[in-house]
Structures are given as C-alpha cells and as structure tokens.
Structure 1
Amino acid sequence: MSAPASADRARRRRSGSASRHRRPLVRFLCRRAGVALLLAVGVTLVTFVLTNLVPGDPATANLGEQASSDPAAVAEYRRQHGLDQPLPIQYARYLEDLARGDLGQSQQSHQPVLTDLRAAVPATMELAALAILLSLLVGVASGVVSALHRNRLGDHVLRVLSLLFVSMPTFWLALVAFYVFFDQLGWAAGSGRLDPGVTAPANVTGLYTVDAVLAGQWFTFWNAVSHLILPALVLTAHTVGLLTRFTRSAVLEVLSQDYVRSARAKGLPERTVLVHYVLRGALVPVITVAGLAFGALLSGTVLVESIFAWPGLGGYAFRSATTFDLPAVMGVGLVIGTIYLFVNLAVDVLYGVIDPRARVQ
C-alpha cells in the first residue's frame, strides 16, 4: 500500500472518530433544546393561570373607588381588556399576541409592557451578573481552600463565615451597608444607577457599563461601576456563603474517589490532580447551585432594589402586583420563567461539556 493511501485512510479514521464523539453531544443539546421549548409553552400556561387565580378584580384596582362603583364603567373596562371572555379564549388571544411580540399594555405606565421590561430587565441583569461573577470567584475558591484544609483553622473560619452570610437577611444587610458605607463613611455611591446630573449612555444593550464603554464615555462607566459595587456586594454575600458550603462538600466527596487516589499514586503534580481531576468532578453540583442562584438573583432582588432605588425588574414586579396590573404581572412572570429556562439549559449544556457521561444518559 502506498504512503499517500495509508495517510488518507488514517485521516478518514480520525475524522470518523471525531464525528462519533461529537454525535452524543449534538443529540444531547438537541434533546435539551426541545425540552426547553416545551417548558416555555408550559411557562406561558402557568403564568396565565396563576395570574388569573389571584383574588381581586383588576377593574376595581385600576378604575378607582368612584369609577368602580359604576357598573357601566366596569363593564366597559372589562370589554376593552378582554376580561369578559372565557379564560380559554383569553389564553388563546394571549398566545396570539405573544407570538407577535405583544405582551399587552401596562395599566400603571400606560405603555407597552415590553417597553417597560426593556428598561427594567437590563438593570437587574447588570446587577445580578456582577453579583454571580463575584460569588463564583470567591465562593468556589473559598470552598476549595476549606476542603483542602479540612478541620483546620482556615476551614473552621470559612465555614463560620459562610454560615453567617447564608443566615443574614439580605434586606437587613442592604440597610446596614447603605447606612454605614454611604451615609456614615461616604465610601460608596448613592442610590440609583448614576449620580444626579450624569447622562446615561446611548441605549445599545441597556447595561450602563457596557453602553458607556461602547460610547467611549469612561467617566460614565466608572460612575456606573461605583453605583453597582455596594448592591452587588450585598447580593454576593448570601450567594458566596451558599457556594462555599456546596463547593466544600463537592470537593470533599471527589477527594475520596479512587481515581483521585490513583492519580496521586502515579506521582502527578498536586496542581494537576486538583485542576483536572478534583475540580472537574466537583463542578457539576456547583454549576447546579450557581445556576439556581443566578436565577434567584434575577427574580428576587425586590428588597435590595428598593433600598438602593435600583430601577430593575424587582421594583417593577412589586408595583405591578400592588396595582393589580395583570399584563405587567404576566410579563414579569414570563420573563422570570424564561430566565430560569435559559439558565437550566446553560447548566445542562455545561453538564455535557464537563461530564461526558451526561451526553449518553
């Protein structure tokens, strides 16, 4: 057999082997994407049903006491907003409007819900992204250090601190941090996303830090960062404690596995064992907790946003619920459900990348 023919056959074998290795991952991703699509339809149904099961009459809540006492005004309001139709018809109209990108009109701001969400979601996303990034950096590192120094002084200190951070109410920590670092010491910026008088950058992504960099407005960028730091650190505290404890448990479990002992017995450097064996095996449960924590940060920052006057999704959801603004409430529920779907899909994809066993199960 000639050398070119042998080389060509070897290339075909390598190509076929690589293709076979890629197929399980592709099938895995397709299955997860299909499940996410079905769950998205379920989210719309659950959001619609739960919103309509809330006790109270939206007509009474939005018309006011004097107008709501007029049956003709109430009937006209219900007709205009389609509330006089049976629930299946209302849901069908909701899906039809949703397919066109129409989430309805907010009854408190009198503008499309999608417009309100475009302003609120990026503000919360910017805050939550910084918080989860700091939480991962500090929490995973602290958990690994705690596990490697098990039952020593460093381990005990980190465990006490993580328990303290998990136990502290977030709203109380936000109040204390705002009072101490802004009101008393003046180390942190005030409330809101920018100082009064500072013009927001041109809206490209809705994230002030990113938009300021794109526009080359470095003063605005640093001003936005200064307003981000304190609320992000408050949100980070609870998540750091959670990730520290879960990372410690996951690393301790992996350290007791036979393949880690075998790697050390072969004489591999401790850093190689830690990075390529221990951390890779411990990342799966840590990623699960981090994904849930990120979803919780995006959807549960109502009190922190209220204390720091942060115009995000939490404040918008609170105002919508207190005024019984059904289109806005359903829009918020849909956004939160979609966020959790994307986070879970990203976690599933990372499972397949980190652990090959997840691709074929």
Structure 2
Amino acid sequence: MAVGAVLGAAALLFLLLDILPGAGGTDRPAWVRFLGLFTGDTGAPNTLGERLAVTLPLALLALVIAGAVGTGLGLAAGRYRGMVDGLVRALSGVLALLPPFWLGMLLALLFAALLKLLPASGFVPWSNLPGALASLLLPALALGLPYAGQLALRIRRDLGSVAEDDVQRLRAQGVAASAARWKLGLAGALPELPQAMARIFGALLIGAALVESVFFLPGLGRQILGAAEQHDLGLLRGGLLLLIMVAACGMLLLALLRVLVDPALRAEWRR
C-alpha cells in the first residue's frame, strides 16, 4: 500500500503539473522528467535535501511531543477517574482544537519575546546541535501539542471501551474491578497506538508548512508553498513527492510497530 501510494502520487503529480504552462524542463523526454521526481531532479538547481533536513527533524520532534504528552494525558485520564479525568479531558479538548500556527505565535510571544528563553525565528545549522534543537523546540511544540490532545482523547476513549463481560471474567479470577478495567483497557488501547502515531506523523509533515512560515524556518514545507506562489511547477512537484515519500515511509514503519505490541499479530506473524 505504501509503494502504491507513492507511485500513484507520482503519476498524479506528473500528469497534473507537467502539462501546465511553466512546468519547466519540457525539452527533456517525459520519462526522464518522471524519473526525475524520484531523484530530486526538478530541471533546475534545488535545495530539497537541505530543506528536508529541517522539516523531518521538526516533524519527528513534534511526534515525540505528541506521543509523550498525549499518551501521558490519556493514561492519566483512564487511570484516575473523577476530577483528574475531567480536567485531563478538558485540557485535551482545548489542545485538540488549537490551530498550530496560532499556538506557535502564542508560544513565540511567551517564550521568545517575554521570557527570552528560546529563539522566535530562524534556524541554527546542525553543526551547532544545541542551537538547532532550540530553533525547533517552539515550532515542534506548536505542531505537536494539538495532536497530543487528539491522541489523549483517543486513548481515554479506548481505555473506557471495555466489555463488562470481560471485567466480570477477571473479577471471577480474583482481580479487583478497577484493576480489571485498567488491564483490559490497556490491552485494547496499546495495540492501536502505533497506527494512531502513523496517521499523526503524516499530518505533522503536512502541517509543518504553516508552522515553518510562522517561525521562518528554511524547511521543505515552506519551500513548497514558495514554489506554488512563484509558479515553479518543477520544484513544486519534486517537493510534494519527496514529502509524500517521507510520509509514506514513516507511516509504514510506525504501523509495523504494531507487530511488537499486539500479541495477536505477533502470533499470526510467527505462523
């Protein structure tokens, strides 16, 4: 499915953008232009690799934030009912509704303008690793926190979707009702987590474009938007396909992690 998605996207991008005026490189054979999509050959010099070196770490850092915060909030809401559950669900609901670009401006105002703890814009080269990570922290928070709220609500919902018959079965074995619900909830929620993280990763790569614009990051998403504005269709289709390929590979790897956490899939894999 991942390979099919990439090939289908490449064919669609080529057919739609190659026939438009200004596509560039039309003096070369069509098959050369099509294969150039997979090698980064847009018909003109480009910085797709350098731009991806900003966007991919940004998306991965945002994914870590979304996974850590979302899983923590979701498990807390499922474990501690009552006031804690209500507060966590309210916080998660607010986070889930926040637009990343708006949250990014608020974070920049607080941590860069007022507290002066982190840079508000720009990117420090990777030769200065602490500086590069500091450049990406606020954008990653702006990008990852809304998805953390969505993930927390999903985990809380999965933890609450426990069949009463299964609870009674464990209670008959001497397990307390609360412990039985918690154990069964985890068994149902954890196998679904890698698939949810895979979808979040794809969404983070797409959403990175707006956040990069807010923080003036030299990322791939911002370059794609610039190529669209300048009608540079060769660069546009090359950047879009590169983004799609990275998203497909990342989503595939995260989805395969389900084999490690789902006992049923592990047993099927062994067979």
- TM-score category by the smaller chain? 0.7 to 0.9
Residues 188-229 of structure 1: per-residue CA shift (max 9 Å, x gap): 2231222xxxxx4xxxxxxx2xxx5xxxxxxx3322232222
In the TM superposition, 1:245-256 aligns within 5 A as: 245-253=153-161, 255-256=162-163
2:112 aligned partner: 182
Structure 1: how far apart are the matches of 2:138 and 2:178? 34
1:146 aligned partner: 77
1:163 aligned partner: 93
Structure 2: how far apart are the matches of 1:223 and 1:270? 50
Gaps of 5+ in 2: none
1:160 alignment partner, SS class? helix
- The answer to whether structure 1 residue 221 and structure 2 residue 151 are counterparts is no
2:2 alignment partner, SS class? helix
8 Å contact kept, 1:302–1:315: yes
8 Å contact kept, 1:280–1:354: no
Deviation at 1:334, TM superposition (A): 0.9
Most deviating of 271-280 and 238-247: 271-280
1:71 aligned partner: none
Structure 1: how far apart are the matches of 2:26 and 2:18? 13
- 33, 36, 56: which one pairs with 1:94? 33
Structure 2: how far apart are the matches of 1:188 and 1:138? 20
Distance 1:322 1:143, change over 3 A: same
Deviation at 1:144, TM superposition (A): 1.5
Structure 2: how far apart are the matches of 1:170 and 1:182? 17
Structure 1: how far apart are the matches of 2:181 and 2:219? 40
In the TM superposition, 1:1-361 aligns within 5 A as: 35-52=1-18, 57-58=21-22, 81-82=25-26, 90=30, 92-98=31-37, 101-106=39-44, 111=45, 113=46, 116-150=47-81, 152-194=82-124, 200=125, 208=126, 212=127, 220-253=128-161, 255-256=162-163, 258-259=165-166, 261-263=168-170, 265-267=172-174, 277-358=184-265, 360=268
Deviation at 1:50, TM superposition (A): 3.4
Structure 2: how far apart are the matches of 1:173 and 1:102? 33
8 Å contact kept, 1:260–1:278: no
Deviation at 1:283, TM superposition (A): 2.2
Deviation at 1:118, TM superposition (A): 0.9
Structure 1: how far apart are the matches of 2:16 and 2:169? 53
Structure 1: how far apart are the matches of 2:178 and 2:215? 42
Aligned residues: 268
Distance 1:130 1:256, change over 3 A: same
User: In terms of Rg, which structure is larger?
Assistant: 1
8 Å contact kept, 1:131–1:235: yes
Residues 262-291 of structure 1: per-residue CA shift (max 9 Å, x gap): 345434699996887532421233322221
Deviation at 1:102, TM superposition (A): 4.8
Residues 57-111 of structure 1: per-residue CA shift (max 9 Å, x gap): 327xxxxxxxxxxxxxxxxxx7xx216x9xxx63x33334456x352234xxxx1
Structure 2: how far apart are the matches of 1:241 and 1:163? 6
Structure 1: how far apart are the matches of 2:107 and 2:255? 36
RMSD (CA atoms) = 2.9
Deviation at 1:154, TM superposition (A): 1.1
TM-score computed with the length of structure 1 as normaliser: 0.65
1:300 alignment partner, SS class? helix
TM-score computed with the length of structure 2 as normaliser: 0.85
Amino acid at match of 1:103: D
Residues 303-348 of structure 1: per-residue CA shift (max 9 Å, x gap): 2111211111111111111111112111122112212321332243
Structure 1: how far apart are the matches of 2:136 and 2:77? 29
8 Å contact kept, 1:250–1:286: no
Q: Equivalent pairs: percent with the same residue? A: 27
Structure 1: how far apart are the matches of 2:10 and 2:63? 27
Distance 1:347 1:240, change over 3 A: same
Gaps of 5+ in 1: 1-34, 60-77, 195-199, 201-207, 213-219
Amino acid at match of 2:26: G
Structure 1: how far apart are the matches of 2:185 and 2:89? 20
Residues 206-254 of structure 1: per-residue CA shift (max 9 Å, x gap): xx2xxx5xxxxxxx3322232222211111221111111111111111x
